[in-house]
Structure 1
Amino acid sequence: MSFITRFAPSPTGPLHLGHAYSALLALHQARLSGGRFLLRIEDIDRARSRARWEAQIYDDLAWLGISWETPVMRQSDNMPAYNSALRALWSQGLLYACQCNRRDILAAASAPQEGAPLTGPDGVIYPGTCRDLPRDPGVEMPKDKALRLDLRAAAEVFSGPLSYVETGRPGPPQTVTADIAALQQSAGDVVVARRDMGTSYHLSVVIDDAAQQISDVVRGEDLAEATMIHVLLQHLLGLPVPRYHHHRLIRDEAGRRLAKRDDARAIATYREAGATPQDIRCMVGL
């Protein structure tokens, strides 16, 4: 299998040191393997995505000495592929419409009989409020409601164990396994299409990785708990499962992982202060 990886930032703010580490690590692994490094702009959040942030992504990466193949995939151009995948899942009875908002979910999950609400990759685990409402896979898929993946129905379609190869841990690659029952407990029925986006991170990343023939996903360890969701979607949609390398996170002095709102750690801030690309590499341990 040829090595193909990607760096996939969202243009919703400036790139910070954590992004630099992830992009440089992915590029290094691609070069070490004689493979390919791709760039993808994950701009499905149209309310927060900005052209100026996308332009700065290109500028910061080029300044770091990172080059990529063109054309660059942009998720906003790929909506037909996401819609096609959603229709396929809907027609199999694997999705249901959900009209709950965050407050509804928290209230239901915090009910006395439920105990303390559990959290998963998307925050509070959905308690299944809308799962048993009447639905008909033969009618048109609704566009004004969120769509959730029904893990109980998915277990009837795919009964095998879920697994992927993890290359980001010390030692040789390891096979990580789980079953859908465990996924129900740890993640719940996740949203695969948000009402204001028409898709979600979970669905889009799976479709895009397959479209770009990604063999190795290099990303932060904070996304590791979402990986089994992606593996399940890959099986349900008949897509290949890549290898995953979940790397350490770059944190601040207090041990908190960096976020885009932390402009003090933005690559552009260091550039303006006179830092060099080699300085950035040293800061992130490369």
Structure 2
Amino acid sequence: MLVEAWRGSGAVSGERQQGLRADCGRCFGLCCVAPAFAESADFAVDKPAGRPCVNLKGDFRCGIHSELRERGFSGCTVFDCFGAGQKVAQVTYGGRDWRRVPGIASEMFDVFAVMRQLHELLWYLAEALTLDAARPVYGELERAFGATERLTLESPEVLVRLDFGAVRQEVNALLLRASELARAEFQRKKDRRRKSDFRGADLMGADLKGADLRGASLRGAYLIGADLRGADLRGADVIGADLRAAKIAGADLTGAVFLIQSQLDAANGDATTKFSPSFRRPAHWPDVSQPK
């Protein structure tokens, strides 16, 4: 059972995150059905919520998975359910799927939307428990992880009525404290005259080439198309930052707080982009350095 992989102390948070990775083979294509797609640079077609994508096959696999970017579905390549798909399919609904039991379809899609958000919180909480500087709040993080985990095991009826906003607000306050503790060392080393708080900032297309963003807060910042080539983002908090098409060749994201794989997948880096070894280099990045 998935929940078993998430038990334990902060020392095994990496194992917890492993249990929060998507396993499409155990899902029912929920991310290809539940959400709505709007025709854009990220999606080649319009798709209303609750309707299967035209590329979804009978076995719940994507018919163009290896060509998503080339076929205009780059948005699919950067989506991460954090394991919520298989949790809903195999735990919440015990293996029943929306095709064989159409009566559960609408509810299942609504549950998936809630579960995905809960699993994302679990991912961030698990990461916070790997931050040495956050040890003063490990106890609170552990309790929040346990409480959030228990919510994911609730019935569909409870999940669709869940006040997720209240849950997120409480957990986010704790994640912010962990972030502040983790970034404190970088903040002490920086020139205090330099701005370091960019929470929710509109930095779309901004020229941040070579910027010193060590320990900065980029929480929820809009960095779409921003030029971050050669920027130093070590220890920066990037939770919720939108890095779509951001240029990060030569940037150093080693130890960036709350960085997730889909953010790297959405950005344009190259062989010179630095990040922690727990991440994989996106397949669409060139193997050689790009001109600066």
* Higher strand fraction (1 or 2): 1
TM-score (ref. length: structure 2): 0.27
**Which one scores higher on RCO, CA 8 angstroms, separation ≥ 6?**
1
TM-score (ref. length: structure 1): 0.28
